[in-house]
Structure 1
Amino acid sequence: MRLGSGAAVVGRLILLFLLTLGSAAAAACREDTLRLRGDFGEALFRVEIADDAAERAQGLMHRESLPRGAGMLFLYPFPRQASFWMRNTLIPLDMIFIDRTGTVTRVHSNAIPLDETAIDGGPNVLAVLEINGGMAAPMGLAPGVQIQHPLMPQGPAVWPCEP
């Protein structure tokens, strides 16, 4: 049986792992869990929340690793033009930019550790999910993917939390 290239196999294994986690997750929304759905099915990430200026400024700086299936969710009080950089960030990251409806609008893959070049997330960004670099593409995380999280506005959400 041929499994494919190394990168494709790793991508499939990551997706299988995340989908397994997703099927075991409780149906209720939890602040430490972000759910995603798209053409690939559903997946989840365990997330830390950065929802104030100090937490957003610190982000994932100075960390030497990030567990697979984990990430950081940056939340803003209102939609804005979002721009990130990798100052003092030691690991490559994928940045997933999300609008107020919980729809992914842009994905920046493999941000380079310590690079201070601005990464433009575009206008109307309400949240940004940072995950390990190189995970988004094999999973199928792209514009149009939907997220579910209880701290996102539920009124305009395309995938609101169950009451």
Structure 2
Amino acid sequence: MGNSDHNRRQFIAGITLLFAGAGAVAAKTPLPPCPTDRVTITGGFGTASFNVEVAADEANRARGLMNVDELPLSSGMLFVYQRPQLMSFWMRNTLIELDMLFLDGSGVIRHIHDRAQPLDETPISGGPDLLTGVLEINGGLARRLGIKVGDVLRHPAFISAAEPWNC
């Protein structure tokens, strides 16, 4: 029995190494990148997805949705900033009503400005929180869908250690 027990231990050790080796190979295989032209918001209402144009540099953020005369219902613009900061937007040269969803670094919605008025140059504040992004969608849509403060937006620009995301 001693010899068969030894053989069994060697067999189990060999299988363990085989699976560990397969895991190492799988870990080295890169996952496909998450799409950057789509966001998903989840909350008590369920899930909503939007096709987005990302404004991640100064020129694109400055232009935003200015002079756009219509926005498809399932579309928006995602403004992304490299570091957390206080945020304020306005509607200069913006021709359509917008909802602005202000986001922290984990993609949590911290403030929603409902129905920003076209062409209004009054500053629209994201509140007292340091933020890293804003999603602009059609005016009134956040309320219609049931999107609320505390809901979470998923996009590769926003990382949450508490809720890892596999796109």
- Cα 1:71–1:33 shift into 2, 3 Å: same
2:43 counterpart of 1:38: yes
Letter in 2 for 1:148: R
**Which protein has the larger Cα radius of gyration, Structure 1 or Structure 2?**
2
- Closer/same/farther in 2, CA of residues 143 and 157 from structure 1, 3 Å limit: farther
1:141 aligns with 2:141: no
Aligned residue pairs total: 134
Q: For the structure 1 residues 97 and 158, does the alpha-carbon distance in structure 2 shift closer, same or farther, using more than 3 Å as the test?
A: farther
Distance 1:150 1:97 in 2: 16
- Equivalent of residue 102 in structure 1, options 81, 104, 107: 107
Q: 1:130 aligns with which of 124, 127, 136?
A: 136
Q: What does residue 117 of structure 1 align with?
A: 122
Following TM superposition, where does structure 1 have runs of at least 4 consecutive aligned residues deviating by more than 2 angstroms? 156-161
TM-score by length of 1: 0.78
Helix, strand or coil at the partner of 2:132:
strand
**Between structures 1 and 2, the one with greater helix share:** 2
1:45-124 correspondence to structure 2 within 5 Å: 45-122=50-127, 123-124=129-130
- CA-based RMSD of the aligned residues comes to 1.4
More strand per residue: 1 or 2?
A: 1
What amino acid is aligned across from residue 31 of structure 1 in structure 2? T
Unmatched 5+ stretches in structure 1:
1-27
Match of 1:161 in 2: 165
Q: Distance in 1 between matches of 2:162 and 2:154?
A: 8
| 2: CA distance, partners of 1:120 / 1:72 | 17
Question: C-alpha offsets along residues 118-149 of structure 1, whole Å, 9 cap, x if unaligned?
Answer: 00012211110000001010111111000110
| 1:32-64 alpha-carbon deviations (Å, 9 max, x no partner) | 110010001111000000001111000000000
Q: Cα 1:100–1:115, aligned 2, differ >3 Å: closer, same or farther?
A: same
**Percentage identity across paired residues of the two chains:** 48
**TM-score, structure 2 length as denominator?**
0.76
